[in-house]
Structure 1
Amino acid sequence: MTWLTRVFLRPTVAVFAASALLYLVIGCLLAVHAEFMLGDALSRVQSAQGVLFSRDPHLASIGFIFTPMTALVEIPLTAFSPWFPSLTRYAMAGVIMSSAFMAGAAVQIWGIGLDRGVPRWQRVAITVLFAVNPMIVFYGATGMSEAPFVFLMCWCARRLIRWTSTDDVHDLIGAGIALGLAYLTRYDAGFPTLVGAAFVAVVTWRRAQRNRWQTAFLDAVILAAPAALAFFAWAGTSWLLTGQAFAQFSSQYGNTAILDQVGGPAESGTRTFAYSAAELLVLAPALPVLVPVIVVLAVRRRDLEVLVTTLIFGSVLAFQVYSYAAGSTFPFLRFYICVIPLMCVYAFQVFPARGDLHPRRPGVFAVPHAMPPPRLRGVAVAATVLVALCLPVTAIGMESRSLSVQQYAVGALLPFDPQEGTDMDQQLRILESFGTEREMADRLDAMDLPDGSILVDSLYGFAVVAASKYPKRFVLPSDRDFVSILSDPAASDVKYILTVPNSGRGTADAVNRRYPSIYSNGAQISMLELEFPNDGADQPDWRIYRVLTNPDDATEPE
């Protein structure tokens, strides 16, 4: 047996390799074969592309609306896009990124079961059920930030669970690093950081016999410091470069502005809580049965591990429920994805903690796992069966347009689509999103244009730029001279301006803000050259205007 064979026979390597391959294959089928991509994933890939291949390449091209982790990971991948255009054109750089991270999440689920000492059959079963959960597969294959976020939350939960028994500072540091990276992936990580730090402080304070307050404070700082550093570094950098510390919330491109542009939140009041409850039940219908059992067993055993699981994953879910109720976010099923690892870890925790944790340096408050004879095997079997029964429920829920607005269109690619005949046209339009933008990119690529000759805002134009073979031809808001070029395109040798209607989200488009009438009449600076009605759902129609060197030549479009 070769060393390579021995490596791949290791359970963690096998779990990672099998999961990553599954997500990568499905991601290739969705992106390249079906040409289906999610806008946020494609936008991040274009941001990573801009760092290396824009006409003004610099690291700040990743932007400050989204947190930077996914784009930073994708930068090395987009470096190969000149030889493999699919990395950007079809967002395959994002697919590779999310495949690796979601496979890492499956490894962490396996590790939590190993640390707990659950029977091997249950560890294998729950890990497989997690890895093949339709929601996990979808977000492992589509390049979204959910994959790294789920991985980091699972990593944090595992390390903090270990710390409750080992009191090993290495476990506490690991959990803190996971939270810091999670904040750079999604802002949602701020809440579990606060909750986790409070938990660590209370546990340490209760265990310490001397210097309680100092010891508790120090442990809490160890956990929270990486996230605090990420918070101040990211906000400070954003403020220095853009004048806005939290562009996600205050920018014309942020969530608050988007909600205003589309007419405000879809729901309000108590209906938001009912909707969130429905989303949670679609993803984890076993929870109403598992939670009472887990609570009873945890109280009887004085099991802090269950409390860690509840606080880390539960705080993320509570934050999402509150955000939607407050009208500051969208009714997306993916925002509740952390309920899936929560359910899987609960299934492990019906079994008593028996694993040997092998800490690097046990702390003075270390409490080794007890080694009782196996009990509650029937309960463990029942919990595993419940998790298995959740998969078809989740798959059916993802076919619902009302509950799963971002995923349900994929059903049109399946041999037997429950929506067929009722909503097929809308599903096909969603699947065709960005097809018009790729057609525009091909048309522009065929023209013999110099660098910096096409002006467009990346609000909607990211899909055109990502699909183009010549990203240096585009002048984007991330370019440091964008404002001066926008003010006088002709003097800057801009040949064409890409425009969208000045309505809805188009009101935030920088070109529309500078020239409000440009889409309708050229704004006296340009003449209509081409028009592209959009085939994609919720995507704007495009007009390409040719910049006039002599404004007196401007005419109204027919």
Structure 2
Amino acid sequence: MRILRSPALVVYLLSAALYFVVGYVLAVHYHVMLGDALSRVQSAQGVLFSRDPHLASIGFIFTPMTALVEVPLTALNSWFPSLTRYGMAGVIMSSVFMAGAAVQIWAIGGDRGVPRWQQVAVTVLFAVNPMIVFYGATGMSEAPFVFLMCWATRRLIRWTSTDDVHDLIGAGIALGLAYLTRYDAVVPTAFGAVFVAIVTWRRAKVNRWQTAFLDGVILAAPAFLAFVAWAATSWLLTGQAFAQFTSEYGNSAIIEQSGGAAESGPATIAYSAAEILVLAPALPLLVPAVVVLATRRRDLEVLAATLMFGSVLLFQTVSYATGTTFPFLRFYICIIPLVCIYAHQIRAPRGQIAARRPGVFNAPRETGGPSMRIAAAVAVALLVVSLPVTTVLMESRSLSVQQYAVGALLPFDPQEGLEMDRQLSILESFSTEREIADRLDAMDLPDGSILVDTLYGFAVVAASNYPKRFVLPSDRDFISVLSDPASHGVRYLLTVPNEGRGTADAVNRRYPTVYENGAQISMLDLDVPNDGADQPDWRLYRVLDTPGGDSE
């Protein structure tokens, strides 16, 4: 078959199929969905199907890449309701991106000139890593970010040998898109630009400073353009250039609403180190070997990979230590592709990399030297041993806050009693919101008749067959409707307790006592306790004096 003549395509199709199937089973069969992923799906849905459809509905708290990719998928929601109800649009998005990451790991091995058995083994071990599978299957931004970082790293590695401007441009484009996926990309862009400038400065014989500066700019320019364009667009439309950091819905506000950072100082550094070791148990053995060999060989390829992924890990460690982010295992996921690349780089680079236009500093590779067969086999064996270790440690509630509940679906789950109950309640997240959506759908309500903030209400809106019935913060008339719901035809307020993150809810900010007593503008119609862990209880209030009557 012709398809078998392209190993990279086979890697892509098999990986994408694996992640899609796992995602479908988790989301549609077991109803396992992550809040951030479902929130992005609802934002994408709002671009096309809200009562006020417009592109800015994707919001400006998160960077836009994942939601933009999901917009055309949500267009098919009329035929496939699970695309939004169960977040399958996100599953498709993460599947195709994480499969792309597996292809990049494959290609890095090919560029390195490793034997086919090693190339296959390392790629498979990356693709089936439980953390990679989980985030390739759950619609989170980790999938596109890992892919784009792998793409950027591969291109930068190639550039160290080829000096081909096409490789430098490719790395820059990947970093620019990575910034539109996660703010973390600022750091590897900065490190990468400095690395490129220093390498070029050392190689150049004339015009050193100009040439070094130009190469650094080529790498950093796409990310800088993305940074300026996104900040300017956010400022023009919302009045906040960096809503992630200044908005009531951003990370800083969430940490404050949650009671502030739980830890700080040395304890956070130790925790970050533990998280990294959960995902890469082989790291302590691989790093010394790779560093020694790279030093002997003067191997810039190892340094390129280390700077790109290591800077992301450093950023996450510092962010957690300073109390500006959360202790989530997924924030350290970049260590997985890094150790896989290290497994390739145990061997010396061999062969010549095909380049469109080799630069003047194109460096021929060594073809002699030891084959390092045993060292390569040991590196692969370390990756094999790492898989069960990572799988078991992902069952730890303290180390794997967001993933450990999935263990309840596995036959070897070590949890029992109250801990098992908590796992099941985490898996039930958003089941209550789907029930609320079904109840509201069963009512004969006009468009714009239910007012809710998507801070928590995104799951209700995503599960509804009638998203136009909801008045949302992304609607351009939201403030005026919120100020006088009755005169704008709103019949119901969907509310959460005014505590914790609920203090940022727009309805609570405008009517602080609405959840407790209706704020004298509404009367209680429905009280819904939540079955999901760490999810708020809901109350549905009927708005008083609604034009056209206040009863159904």
Deviation at 1:418, TM superposition (A): 1.0
Is the CA contact 1:66–1:248 (under 8 Å) kept in the aligned structure 2?
yes
Q: Quote the Cα distance in structure 2 between the aligned partners of 1:347 and 1:313.
A: 15
What is the aligned counterpart of 1:184 among 164, 176, 180?
A: 180
* CA deviation map 1:369-402 (0-9, x unaligned): 2222551110010011001111011101110000
Say whether 1:309 aligns with 2:305: yes
Which residue of structure 1 aligns with residue 421 of structure 2? Answer: 425
What is the aligned counterpart of 2:142 among 138, 141, 146?
A: 146
Matches within 5 A, 1:242-281: 242-281=238-277
Say whether 1:206 aligns with 2:217: no
What is the aligned counterpart of 1:334 among 330, 336, 354?
A: 330
Q: Quote the Cα distance in structure 1 between the aligned partners of 2:27 and 2:511.
A: 35
- Equivalent residue letter for 2:410: L
What is the aligned counterpart of 2:110 among 107, 111, 114?
A: 114
Is the CA contact 2:495–2:540 (under 8 Å) kept in the aligned structure 1?
yes
Q: Quote the Cα distance in structure 1 between the aligned partners of 2:368 and 2:329.
A: 40
Q: Quote the Cα distance in structure 1 between the aligned partners of 2:79 and 2:522.
A: 35
What is the aligned counterpart of 1:545 among 531, 541, 544?
A: 541
Say whether 1:79 aligns with 2:82: no
Say whether 1:530 aligns with 2:526: yes
- Equivalent residue letter for 1:469: N
Gaps of 5+ in 1: none
* CA deviation map 1:113-168 (0-9, x unaligned): 00000111110000000000000000000000000000000000000000000000
Q: Residues 550 and 221 of structure 1: is their aligned pair in 2 closer, same or farther, counting only changes over 3 Å?
A: closer
Say whether 1:445 aligns with 2:441: yes
Which residue of structure 1 aligns with residue 193 of structure 2? Answer: 197
Say whether 1:136 aligns with 2:132: yes
What is the aligned counterpart of 2:475 among 462, 472, 479?
A: 479
- Equivalent residue letter for 2:402: Q
What is the aligned counterpart of 1:70 among 54, 66, 70?
A: 66
* CA deviation map 1:336-370 (0-9, x unaligned): 00000010000110101003311000000000222
Say whether 1:494 aligns with 2:490: yes
Is the CA contact 1:131–1:137 (under 8 Å) kept in the aligned structure 2?
yes
Gaps of 5+ in 2: none
SS at match of 2:525: strand
> Which range is displaced more, 486-495 or 370-379?
370-379
Say whether 1:410 aligns with 2:430: no
Is the CA contact 2:91–2:136 (under 8 Å) kept in the aligned structure 1?
yes
Say whether 1:162 aligns with 2:158: yes
Normalised by the length of structure 1, the TM-score is 0.97
> Which range is displaced more, 355-364 or 34-43?
355-364
Is the CA contact 1:412–1:420 (under 8 Å) kept in the aligned structure 2?
no
Is the CA contact 1:114–1:355 (under 8 Å) kept in the aligned structure 2?
no
> Which range is displaced more, 153-162 or 264-273?
264-273
Is the CA contact 1:356–1:369 (under 8 Å) kept in the aligned structure 2?
yes
Q: Quote the Cα distance in structure 2 between the aligned partners of 1:86 and 1:380.
A: 44
Deviation at 1:477, TM superposition (A): 0.2
Is the CA contact 2:489–2:546 (under 8 Å) kept in the aligned structure 1?
no
SS at match of 1:462: helix
What is the aligned counterpart of 2:356 among 356, 360, 375?
A: 360
Q: Quote the Cα distance in structure 2 between the aligned partners of 1:247 and 1:550.
A: 34
- Equivalent residue letter for 1:445: D
Is the CA contact 2:91–2:137 (under 8 Å) kept in the aligned structure 1?
yes
Deviation at 1:422, TM superposition (A): 5.2
What is the aligned counterpart of 2:295 among 294, 299, 321?
A: 299
Which residue of structure 2 aligns with residue 516 of structure 1? Answer: 512
Which residue of structure 1 aligns with residue 460 of structure 2? Answer: 464
* CA deviation map 1:292-351 (0-9, x unaligned): 111110110000000001100000000000000000000000000000001000011010
Which residue of structure 2 aligns with residue 60 of structure 1? Answer: 56
Deviation at 1:8, TM superposition (A): 4.3
> Which range is displaced more, 309-318 or 413-422?
413-422
Q: Quote the Cα distance in structure 1 between the aligned partners of 2:219 and 2:416.
A: 50
SS at match of 2:360: coil
Q: Quote the Cα distance in structure 2 between the aligned partners of 1:152 and 1:487.
A: 43
Which residue of structure 1 aligns with residue 318 of structure 2? Answer: 322
Is the CA contact 1:160–1:175 (under 8 Å) kept in the aligned structure 2?
yes
Is the CA contact 2:491–2:546 (under 8 Å) kept in the aligned structure 1?
no
> Which range is displaced more, 415-424 or 246-255?
415-424
Is the CA contact 1:160–1:308 (under 8 Å) kept in the aligned structure 2?
yes
Q: Quote the Cα distance in structure 2 between the aligned partners of 1:479 and 1:356.
A: 55
What is the aligned counterpart of 2:343 among 327, 344, 347?
A: 347
Is the CA contact 1:118–1:355 (under 8 Å) kept in the aligned structure 2?
no
* CA deviation map 1:443-471 (0-9, x unaligned): 00000001000000000000000000000
> Which range is displaced more, 364-373 or 286-295?
364-373
- Equivalent residue letter for 2:291: V
Which residue of structure 1 aligns with residue 91 of structure 2? Answer: 95
Deviation at 1:104, TM superposition (A): 0.2
Deviation at 1:421, TM superposition (A): 3.4
Deviation at 1:420, TM superposition (A): 2.9
Which residue of structure 2 aligns with residue 287 of structure 1? Answer: 283
Which residue of structure 1 aligns with residue 388 of structure 2? Answer: 392
- Equivalent residue letter for 2:79: W
Aligned CA RMSD, in angstroms, stands at 1.2
> Which range is displaced more, 441-450 or 364-373?
364-373
Say whether 1:34 aligns with 2:26: no
Which residue of structure 1 aligns with residue 43 of structure 2? Answer: 47
Off by >4 Å, runs of 4+ in structure 1: none
SS at match of 1:423: helix
Give percent identity, aligned residues only: 77
Normalised by the length of structure 2, the TM-score is 0.98
What is the aligned counterpart of 2:234 among 215, 238, 259?
A: 238
Q: Quote the Cα distance in structure 2 between the aligned partners of 1:411 and 1:504.
A: 28
